[in-house]
Amino acid sequence: MISVTIYNEFCHEKFDENVRKLYPDGIHNAIAKFLGENDDITVRTVTLDDEECGLTDDVINSTDVLIWWGHLRHGDVPDSVAERVKNAVLKGMGFIALHSAHHSKPFRLLMGTTCNLSWREDGDLERVWVTAPSHPIAQGIDTYFEIEEEETYSEPFAIPQPDELVFVGWYEGGEVFRSGCCYVRENGRVFYFQPGHETCPTFHNKSVQRVITNAVRWAAPVNRVSQLICPNVKKITTGIPGSHRR
Amino acid sequence: MISVTIYNEFCHEKFDENVRKLYPDGIHNAIAKFLGENDDITVRTVTLDDEECGLTDDVINSTDVLIWWGHLRHGDVPDSVAERVKNAVLKGMGFIALHSAHHSKPFRLLMGTTCNLSWREDGDLERVWVTAPSHPIAQGIDTYFEIEEEETYSEPFAIPQPDELVFVGWYEGGEVFRSGCCYVRENGRVFYFQPGHETCPTFHNKSVQRVITNAVRWAAPVNRVSQLICPNVKKITTGIPGSHRR
Amino acid sequence: MISVTIYNEFCHEKFDENVRKLYPDGIHNAIAKFLGENDDITVRTVTLDDEECGLTDDVINSTDVLIWWGHLRHGDVPDSVAERVKNAVLKGMGFIALHSAHHSKPFRLLMGTTCNLSWREDGDLERVWVTAPSHPIAQGIDTYFEIEEEETYSEPFAIPQPDELVFVGWYEGGEVFRSGCCYVRENGRVFYFQPGHETCPTFHNKSVQRVITNAVRWAAPVNRVSQLICPNVKKITTGIPGSHRR
Amino acid sequence: MISVTIYNEFCHEKFDENVRKLYPDGIHNAIAKFLGENDDITVRTVTLDDEECGLTDDVINSTDVLIWWGHLRHGDVPDSVAERVKNAVLKGMGFIALHSAHHSKPFRLLMGTTCNLSWREDGDLERVWVTAPSHPIAQGIDTYFEIEEEETYSEPFAIPQPDELVFVGWYEGGEVFRSGCCYVRENGRVFYFQPGHETCPTFHNKSVQRVITNAVRWAAPVNRVSQLICPNVKKITTGIPGSHRR
């Protein structure tokens, strides 16, 4: 059973009628709904206004994969929470950054770069192409899938070169974007996925749901490391019984 | 001084009026012309109909960077020539595969994959985006450049993940393609560049010329290895003078 | 259920008493024994002297992961068999190259390089260090494991940079080697593992057995592609029902 | 001309007689000496006790490559200075982290991981093997070089997988370490190099000097970006003169 926690800053949905129509219970609950239909996944949600963003030590320690959506209020996430998330990833927790979470504090800490890009809100069709057909995150997707309307994100995207590039997005207006990027950071797996603008029905798109579900299974830790250490060690003596070696 | 050899199968230009109009002296000479304007580059050209494709041991051994254009007659390049090219790359020669050279024998040997893709000839506008702005091959290019008409190549492109991805192409009709891909193969550098269809004036495009020129400088070998060996060696004795070690 | 086929050239075991003592039924059967103890793995073995090396279309098409051990008689594997193995990997079959299989035809075809290295037979202790602790292939291994006696393989190892480097070997006599290397080649996963010299009891080492078992599970295909193609395609019309787009 | 700034915390040299004997003017001046012998390199040095560590905006803006040595007092480098260094790297400045600088603030910010390792001070011989013979940083080095005495650093090393792995270190006592690691971070190049313990004469070793000199040339920026931005852009209109396109 994979324990997923979904963080949403839950802000636009409260003041913008257009967003509320699409996601009446918030983006977090829209994601929770389709993930919760899988027998191997349990879901919790937390939001910015919860104490410590809902991401206390207890919650983090019992989370296998953390999904992050935020946009307007990245700066209101306390640095201590961002560091806690980063450290949990380094110990093995999976992390999935959706759309505007490219600028979230934990993602930037993990990447080490600005994660800048260019953007445009014209409701372009996005066609998301698979560049790694055998990758677990691309399973169930044919050579591409379409999103009727998305915010356009454009290269150059200021990230470290992905360990694996799974998707590249094409936008009607003329841009491309590395839309699905995998990283290993110490013991944890990180996936960035471009789709998910708040004024678009992206999280109701079946292919988007499939990709996020696949990504949860991919990012779930094989094991969790309990501490991060930098030990002073003794010279090794061979552990081979009866060996004539040192 | 970088010694460049340009291989062109030189086939379409002979029977297709449209190609001949664009490249009256052949694609090889169109490339030779703009490369030859650089003080640090000398150029030779060879074609399929030359003996051994013009790629004799002498020519290969005195080539720093080999540029390859072919399309209709990949199968007519002798396996021995393809192996010779591959081995020269492994010893340090640079190799630039242009457009339909994705299916050339040397490129496939170096990649180990089919290098398949999907393609369409509708004269789409291609907008080539930079994904690695600080890469030497992207110097002088802003965030993107345009090609008025190109053959459309589409993902998935069946290549090993590039060591560095420098360009991604956007096509008017809805496709994307990893258009600029860098590899190191043993001691040699390999660059694949998508633009260059025979019925399009692509090699007259200033940005394309700049990229190919940059690629020549990037792919030129730091050094050349004389042999490829797999030696049986003796146990090492430390080379530190006066050392008390073994 | 993962269907594993183990190829062994089965040559040293027939003429060298020392090898026969260690592996009386051949290296293939030693590997088959420990793999066969897993409920999710079924095992077949084939050898060089079988018709087509035992690697007929039927066998290949029903193999999820092919393990390869060979040394003296790489050249006697027909090119057609090597090509068949390569193509199966590109379609999704997993491939595990053990020890001297660095020079096997299928591995070299998949890498595109010479796969040369330096070697020494002095029965050195090898200590194999984990460089990617969270990788599935390293599960159950602590920070390192030891092999009492191994053939020494030394850098430089003439391979493309691995997609993931899981192990680095230390040898008593002073060498290092990238001992565990992961690659994706089109739809298939490839793992190279250094240990496994024929005159050493390496395949009886519990850690080695664990790594090979882990690698089988890692390399097993998510899906299998039926053909390798390079299609001419039509311009895409959006598949979104009721869309006003093209 | 490449403008190099060398940062040294300059701490051990002041209180430890053994270190002072090896580096009477400090480690920074030992490095400055051999680098300064090159016609294409100019050198400045700064230390922790200088105002803002000597790394003011003016100094950073006129630095092509920053070399960093620190050990005891990483925590005393102000966060603002560490951020300034990180941002300069993202804009194109080269950064070379030597030895215990694996734990320096700028390196950790750029990597996004703990950069932990295991360590041992027994004065082991280190033999540094080349894993990428054609890499510019390995030029002038044969297959390996030796350091008579070094601090032992051991895997696992908690870094993102290097973009290019150039050296792997072997230690007499039984460990291995990825000793030469290259990264691109946005517009800047980063090189980590393991050798350089303060109680060892490592910076007097000719091979070490050669590697650091090579690394300076490799890390020097091709160009420098003036700002880091994330712009809202307009839909593109093709720039092709006379084009019938949008």
Chain A, chain C: beta-carbon pairs less than 8 Å apart: 62
Q: Is the pLDDT of residue A171 over 70?
A: yes
C246: pLDDT strictly greater than 60: no
Chain D, nearest residue to C157 by Cα: D131
CB-based contact (8 Å) between B154 and chain C?
A: yes
**Are residues B148 and D240, on separate chains, in Cβ contact within 8 Å?**
yes
Mean per-residue pLDDT, C92-105 = 98
Is B158 in contact with C228 (Cβ distance < 8 A)?
Answer: yes
Residues 15-74 (D) with a CB less than 8 A from some CB of C = none
> Between chains, do A170 and B169 touch, taking CB under 8 Å as contact?
no
Separation in Å, CA of C19 to nearest CA in chain D: 28
Residue B112 to residue C117, Cβ atoms within 8 A: no
In a domain, B238, yes or no: no
A161 found inside a domain = no
Confidence of residue A237 (pLDDT cuts 50, 70, 90): confident
C174, part of any domain: no
Cβ partners under 8 Å of residue D3, min gap 6: D42, D44, D62, D63, D64, D65
Among D9, D69, B158, D57, smallest CA distance to A131 is for B158
Interface test with A, best of D119, D159, D161, D186 (most A CBs within 10 A): D186
Residue of D nearest to B127 (CA): D238
Which of D114, D173, D185 is opposite residue A113, by nearest beta carbon? D185
For residue A244, pLDDT over 70 is answered with no
Q: Closest approach of chain D CAs to the CA of C44, in angstroms? A: 35
pLDDT at residue D215, rounded to an integer: 98
Residue D243's pLDDT is 75
Percent of chain D with pLDDT over 90: 89
**Distance (Å, rounded) from C-alpha C172 to C-alpha D173?**
9
Is the predicted pLDDT of residue A224 greater than 80, yes or no? no
pLDDT at A243: 75
Could you say which DSSP state residue B187 is in?
T
Region A9-23: mean pLDDT is 95
Question: In sequence order, what are the beta bridge partners of C164?
Answer: C182
Q: What value does the CA radius of gyration of chain A take, rounded to a whole number of Å?
A: 19
Is there a contact between A225 and C133 if contact means CB atoms under 8 Å apart?
A: yes
Give Dmax over CA atoms of chain B in angstroms.
Answer: 76
- Assess if residue D176 is contained within a domain: no
Assign 3-state DSSP to chain C and report helix, strand, coil percentages, each to 5.
30, 30, 40
Contact check, Cβ <8 Å, A103/D230: yes
Distance of CA C13 to the CA centre of its chain: 20
Q: Who among D127, D156, D175 is closest to C174 (CB)?
A: D127
Residue C186, domain member (yes or no): yes
CA distance C13 to C19: 5
List of residues 6+ apart from B152 with CB closer than 8 A = B119, B120, B121, B122, B124, B126, B171, B173, B175, B177
Q: Does C134 reach chain A within 8 Å, measured CB to CB?
A: yes
**Which of A148, A153, A176 is best to mutate for the B interface (most B CBs within 10 A)?**
A176
Instruction: Tell whether the model's pLDDT for residue D65 goes beyond 60.
Output: yes
pLDDT band (50, 70, 90) for residue A18: very high
Query: Average pLDDT of chain A?
Result: 95
Query: Pick the residue with more confidence: D236 or A194?
Result: A194
SS3 B156: coil
Q: Which of residues 161-190 of C touch B (CB under 8 A)?
A: 161, 163, 173-175, 183-186
- Chain A partners of D109 at a C-beta cutoff of 8 Å? 112
Given a contact cutoff of 8 angstroms between Cβ atoms, the answer to whether C93 and C64 are in contact is: yes
Q: Any chain B CB within 8 A of the CB of C234?
A: yes
pTM for this predicted structure: 0.97
In tens, the pLDDT along B32-79 reads 999 999 999 999 999 999 999 999 999 999 999 999 999 999 999 999
Under the banding of pLDDT at 50, 70 and 90, the label for residue C149 is very high
Percent of chain C with pLDDT over 70: 99
ipTM of the complex: 0.95
Distances (CA, A) of A174 to A117, B100, D234: 15, 24, 11
Is residue C243 predicted with pLDDT exceeding 80?
Answer: no
Do C233 and B154 lie within an 8 Å CB cutoff? yes
Gap between the Cα atoms of D187 and D224, Å rounded? 8
Residue B224 lies in a domain: no
Candidate from C130, C164, C175 with C-beta closest to D161:
C164
Residue C134 to residue A186, Cβ atoms within 8 A: yes
Tokens found for residue B96: 């630039």
Q: Give the structural domain span for B13.
A: 2-219
- How confident is the model over D71-103, as pLDDT tens digits? 999 999 999 999 999 999 999 999 999 999 999
What is the C-alpha separation between D37 and D127, in angstroms, rounded? Answer: 26
What pLDDT is stored for residue D244 in this prediction? 65
How far is Cα A189 from Cα C134, in angstroms, rounded to an integer? 9
Scanning chain B, the segments in alpha helix (DSSP H) are 12-15, 17-22, 27-36, 57-61, 79-91, 105-111, 206-219
User: What confidence score (pLDDT) does residue B185 get?
Assistant: 97
Give the relative orientation of helices C27-36 and C206-219 as an angle to the nearest 10 degrees. Answer: 70
Distance CA A186, CA B243 (A): 38
What is the predicted pLDDT for the residue at B237?
83
* B74 neighbourhood in chain C, CB within 8 Å: none
- Chain D residues within an 8 Å CB radius of C169: 176
Q: Are strands A164-171 and B144-154 parallel, antiparallel or unpaired?
A: unpaired
Q: Which residues on chain A are in Cβ contact (under 8 Å) with B178?
A: 131, 168
Residue D127 has pLDDT above 60, yes or no: yes
Q: Is the dihedral of CA D48, D53, D55, D58 positive or negative?
A: negative
**Residues of B in Cβ contact (< 8 Å) with C158:** 90, 186, 228
Residue in A130, A157, A174 nearest the CB of B155: A130
User: How far off is chain A from D4, nearest CA to CA, in Å?
Assistant: 23
Residue D194 lies in a domain: yes
**Of the partner residues C139, C187, C238, the one whose CB lies closest to the CB of residue A134:** C187
Taking CB atoms and an 8 Å limit, are A232 and D161 in contact across chains?
no
Which residues does chain B have within 8 Å of residue C155's beta carbon, measured at their own beta carbons? none
Give the residue-averaged pLDDT of A222-236: 81
Quick one: pLDDT band at residue C21, thresholds 50, 70, 90?
A: very high
For A33-84, write each residue's pLDDT tens digit: 999 999 999 999 999 999 999 999 999 999 999 999 999 999 999 999 999 9
Number of domains in chain A: 1
Q: Which of residues 84-123 of B touch A (CB under 8 A)?
A: 118
Q: Which of C63, C66, C109 is nearest to C86 (CA)?
A: C109
pLDDT(D174) > 70: yes
Residue D142 lies in a domain: no
Interchain CB contact of D225 with B (< 8 Å): yes
Q: From the list D86, D90, D119, which residue is nearest A233 (CB)?
A: D119
Six-digit token string for A175? 């841009």
With bands split at pLDDT 50, 70 and 90, how would you rate the model's confidence at C168?
very high
Q: Tell me the torsion sign for CA atoms D130, D131, D137, D139.
A: positive
Per-residue pLDDT at B246: 54
CB contact under 8 A, C127 and A223: no
When pLDDT is averaged across residues A235-239 and rounded to a whole number, the result is 83
What's the order of all strands across the beta sheet hosting D188-193?
Answer: D41-47, D2-8, D65-69, D94-98, D188-193, D176-185, D164-171, D118-130, D144-154
Find the closest chain B residue to A164 by CA distance: B161
- What integer best gives the mean pLDDT of chain C? 95
Q: What is the pLDDT of residue B241?
A: 78
Please list every residue in chain B whose beta carbon sits closer than 8 Å to the beta carbon of residue A168. 155, 168, 176, 178
Question: Chains with ≥3 Cβ pairs under 8 A against B?
Answer: A, C, D
Structure tokens at C149: 């006696």
Q: What is the CATH number of the domain that holds B164?
A: 3.40.50.880
B131 in reach of chain A (CB within 8 A): yes
pLDDT at B31 over 80: yes
The pLDDT, as a whole number, for residue D246 is 55
Distance CA A176, CA B130 (A): 10
**Mean per-residue pLDDT, C35-58:** 98
**Chains in touch with D (≥3 Cβ pairs < 8 A):** A, B, C
Q: If you write DSSP's letter for every residue of C197-232 in order, what string do you get?
A: -TTS-GGG-HHHHHHHHHHHHHHS-S---S-----B
User: Chain D contact for B125, CB < 8 A?
Assistant: yes
pLDDT of amino acid A61: 96
Nearest to C174 by CA among D22, B233, B148, B27: B233
How far apart CA A193 and CA A205 sit, in angstroms, is 14
**pLDDT tens per residue, range A148-158:** 999 999 999 99
**pLDDT tens digits along C213-227:** 999 999 999 877 777
